[in-house]
Amino acid sequence: GAGVSQSPSNKVTEKGKDVELRCDPISGHTALYWYRQSLGQGLEFLIYFQGNSAPDKSGLPSDRFSAERTGGSVSTLTIQRTQQEDSAVYLCASSLRDGLRDTQYFGPGTRLTVL
């Protein structure tokens, strides 16, 4: 079956523009996570959705970042008024549930470059 897919794979934008990044999780997975990976760094948690519960937004770095998950499936991460420090790889992951033993499956990421 298909894994987690993300689009676009690469995005180059100008400072100040808005961008939308898309994640298609594995079918049937109720939990969805967004992480950010800067060059040479580990993954930084951004936001997490579990079923119909309110998302955990505790990792979002500023109010320019937002995410939604429609119909419990596809998720969109939106960055408004992009800044150069937003340049990074944005990774999405999904898991069957959000339990301690639920494996997260990652997508290939979207590489965002803000000029």
Query: Using CB under 8 A as the criterion, which residues of the chain lie in contact with another protein when the complex forms?
Result: 4, 31, 33, 35, 40-45, 48, 50, 56, 59, 91, 93, 95, 98-109
Instruction: Work out how close the CB of 35 gets to another protein at its nearest, in angstroms, rounded to a whole number.
Output: 8
Fill in the DSSP letter of residue 71.
G
Tokens for 75, please give them. 């998720």
Nearer to another protein, 35 or 65 (CB): 35
Nearer to another protein, 59 or 80 (CB): 59
Instruction: Work out how close the CB of 90 gets to another protein at its nearest, in angstroms, rounded to a whole number.
Output: 11
- Pick the closest to residue 34 from 107, 113, 114 (CA basis): 107
Nearer to another protein, 87 or 105 (CB): 105
Nearer to another protein, 81 or 97 (CB): 97
- Pick the closest to residue 35 from 63, 14, 65, 15 (CA basis): 65
Q: Which residues contact 62 (CB under 8 A, 6 or more apart)?
A: none
CA distance 16 to 9: 20
Instruction: Work out how close the CB of 57 gets to another protein at its nearest, in angstroms, rounded to a whole number.
Output: 11
